[in-house]
Amino acid sequence: MKLFPRTLALLFLLIALASGGCKRAAAPGATTPIRIGEFSSLTGREAGLGQYTHMGVLLALEELNAAGGLLGRPVEVIAEDTQSKAGESVIATRKLVSRDHVIALIGEGASGRCLEGAPIAQDGHVPLVTPSATNPKVTEIGDYIFRVCFTDPFQGTVMAKFARDSLKAHRVALLVDVGASYSVGLAEFFKERFKADGGVIVAEQKFAGGDKDFRAQLTAIKAANPDAIFAPCYYGEAGLILFQARQLGITLPILGGDGYEAPELIEVAGAAAEGAYFPVHFSLESTDARSRDFVQKFTAHYQKPPTGVSALGYDAMMLLADAIRRAGTTDGPAIRDALAATHDFDGVTGRIAIDVARNARKSASIIQVRKGRFQFVETVAP
């Protein structure tokens, strides 16, 4: 029995030694790689989103390492899968922050799961850059959370500007999903900007997410005689709205948000989708030299074209690299300050400036459905 405390003491000693050893192994040296964590939905329902983002991140990583890495050290990305499930982001970020000791995080393009992981990054003072979480709440979590995509309110503003300046619309009707903060937010900011620019909102019709019949609302909108309809919602409802609008003989331009960007929009609405406008983060057909170059490199590397989130993943990685370079160190607070000071980063999705709320200020590409394809129309700056 007397042996017992001694065994325990020995055990503690061993643990102490082992963890000390661990720390020594992670200590920075000339050749130890800079570790960046990524948490994305690599499998599950939104696997498409996560996989394409991940490919963009890896492409950026290869380019960085080919150019000699950062601060004279190679860069390494440790990717964790969130399985498109609620709760997994917390586990993934905890592992990346406390076990892998990553110096920065890229991740989760889906707003909901980003909101789960971000507080852990914030508490650990690890800067996080999200490629495509557009919900305004994400960057409100704390001063270590940044994004390279535009936000929901921003889309409303951009579409108002597009309707007013490019479509020369004076009277616009709104069709809003009152059950989705995404839709309500877009509509509010659209209204604000459109009115400020001298436009009139002639009708504001509402529906609840999951509705399938929009004929009544559309008939009322038609009677109000607008020049265009702004219907921000996700592609499921959008497809039915477009379909029923054309059935009712409404030929007006219909505008939406980035929630329209899905092949299902065209599957459901068919020919009725023709002519719909919506903003995207990145267009394959953009004429910008950087964007074209990125599309070429990506296609050559993966034998398939990138999607919007690939470009955002690439930009997130490159923005982070730029900040680390400017900070000259891998200290969390220093990288954070460098990220916050970004004012003219040339990304493949456009020129990015980080504002005081840690959101990207950049332009949006407007897409129109033509002949069953998403075609680039123009770039609109806020």
Partner 1 sequence: MTELLQQLINGLSLGAIYALIALGYTMVYGVLRFINFAHSDVFMIGSYVGFYLAPKLGAGSVPGGLAVLFAAMAACALLGVIIEKLAYRPLRNRSTLTVLITAIGVSLLLQNGGQKLFGPNPRAFPKLFPETQLHFGELTVSSNQLIVLAVSVFLLVMLWWIVHRTRIGTAMRALSFNATAASLVGINNDAVISFTFALGSALAGAGGILYAMNYPSIDPLMGTLPGLKAFVAAVLGGIGNLPGAALGGLLIGLVETFISGTRASTFRDAIAFAILILILLFRPAGLLGKMRVEKV
**Residue 220 in contact with partner 1, rule: CB under 8 A:** yes
Residue selected from 134, 205, 283, 365 as contacting partner 1 according to rule CB under 8 A: 205
Asked if residue 133 lies in contact with residue 151, where contact means CB atoms within 8 angstroms, the answer is no
Encoded tokens for 129: 């850059």
Of 119 and 253, the one with the shorter C-beta distance to partner 1 is 253
Asked if residue 145 lies in contact with residue 166, where contact means CB atoms within 8 angstroms, the answer is no
**Residue 213 in contact with partner 1, rule: CB under 8 A:** yes
Please report the DSSP string for 73-97 in residue order: B-EEEEEEE-TT-TTHHHHHHHIII
For residue 96, give the nearest of 87, 112, 107, 85 by alpha carbon.
107
Of 205 and 330, the one with the shorter C-beta distance to partner 1 is 205
Residue selected from 22, 26, 200, 216 as contacting partner 1 according to rule CB under 8 A: 216
Cα distance between residue 142 and residue 144, in whole Å: 6
Residue list 265-324, contact with partner 1 (CB under 8 A): 267-268, 270
Provide the minimum distance between the beta carbon of 137 and partner 1 in the complex, in angstroms, as a whole number. 24
Provide the minimum distance between the beta carbon of 45 and partner 1 in the complex, in angstroms, as a whole number. 8
Name, in order, each residue with C-beta under 8 angstroms of 11's C-beta and a sequence gap of 6 or more: none
Residue selected from 5, 29, 72, 210 as contacting partner 1 according to rule CB under 8 A: 210
Segment contacting partner 1 by CB under 8 A, of 102-110, 135-143, 214-222, 309-317:
214-222
Write each residue from 241 to 270 as x if it is in contact with partner 1 (CB under 8 A), else as -, in one continuous string: --xx-xxxx--------------x--xx-x
**Residue 240 in contact with partner 1, rule: CB under 8 A:** yes
Cα distance between residue 127 and residue 143, in whole Å: 8
**Residue 43 in contact with partner 1, rule: CB under 8 A:** no
Torsion of CA 153, 182, 227, 203, to 10 degrees: -110
- The number of C-alpha atoms within 13 Å of 50 and in the hemisphere containing its C-beta is 24
Residues forming the site for partner 1 (CB under 8 A):
178, 205-208, 210, 212-213, 215-217, 219-220, 222-223, 236, 239-240, 243-244, 246-249, 264, 267-268, 270
